Amino acid sequence: MDQIQHKYVSIRGVKLHIAEIGTGSLMVVFIHGFPEIWYSWRHQMIAVANGGYHAIAPDLRGYGLSEHHPDLEKASFDDFVEDTIAILDYFQIEKAFLVGKDFGSWPVYLLSLLHPTRISGIVSLGVPFFPPRPLRYKDLPEGFYIHRWKEPGRAEADFSRFDVKTVWRNIYILFSRNEIPIADKDKEIMDLVDPSTPLPSWLSSEDLAIYAKAYEKSGFDSPMRAPYKGLRKEFTIRNPKVQAPVLLIMGGQDYFLKFPGIEDYLTSGKVRERMSDLEIKTLPEGTHFVQEQFPDQVNQLIIDFLEKQVRSS
């Protein structure tokens, strides 16, 4: 990882930490999800840089080594979109490939709708584009982890029983499973992980230490604000359709596939009504963290997609 360089850039009132590698003229921007930071893209950054591209991965505002939003109550996905545009402007890049994962795919899709001329292509890990619906998860039980994390003070009280490393470890283990994290009424989300449960085989103790150190700096409140706790702004784009070419990489064991309507949306073809130029690749044993679990396969899929788009441009 020593070849990856690090810098701090003042973007829209906050100082963002940006990891960077490669000197190619074509830029690939990686946008992480939760509970992640730039480091979750380490394998992909090196691979695309070796393929001749310029790779950058910010810690999103509020995450890792980046500063928090100056007014957490107003934090939203719009910040991630505008921060990404500002990062492209800082590097004097007119157009880039964007790679998103988990909730990090949403600002990537949103950017493609609001600023289509800035996008060369999209890679999304685990999340297709679909218009937001405020009550999408209303039929899931009270113990559904997103319901719990939206409840004021609930996650804070749950997490406060453990040190940061244990909380991060438990979330990662939960999200590595193929079932939606749902707690019983008399239990908390952290209680879903037995303390003796080992880390997934692909994540080392050194990796855990790096993630834990980042979250010791940021805490959990700021990273969780936009995806889980923040007020969702009204989505005003009528009949949205992603026009940019998209590679969607799914893990066959990703718990997200158990969310209401997701598997049908993908298998029925309805997803193509919202994504006109879509290629779907599935790694059958892949989990929510497929890019760390199977880095070589994911790297090759990304590079093949990038090269295909470059040839056709």
* CATH code, domain carrying 308: 3.40.50.1820
Contact 87, 35 (CB under 8 A): no
Each residue of 11-49: pLDDT tens digit? Answer: 999 999 999 999 999 999 999 999 999 999 999 999 999
Give one DSSP letter per residue of 50-69, joined into a string.
Answer: HTT-EEEEEPPTTSTTSPPP
Q: How far apart are CA 179 and CA 177, in angstroms?
A: 6
Each residue of 165-212: pLDDT tens digit? Answer: 999 999 999 999 999 999 999 999 999 999 999 999 999 999 999 999
Each residue of 227-284: pLDDT tens digit? Answer: 887 766 777 788 899 999 999 999 999 999 999 999 999 999 999 999 999 999 999 9
- Classify residue 260 as left (phi > 0), alpha (psi -120 to 50) or beta: beta
pTM, rounded to two decimals: 0.97
- Domain containing 205: what range? 5-312
Choice among 35-39, 118-122, 129-133 with the minimum mean pLDDT: 129-133
Each residue of 44-84: pLDDT tens digit? Answer: 999 999 999 999 999 999 999 999 988 888 888 889 999 99
Domains contained in the chain, number: 1
The mean per-residue pLDDT over the stretch 86-115 comes to 96
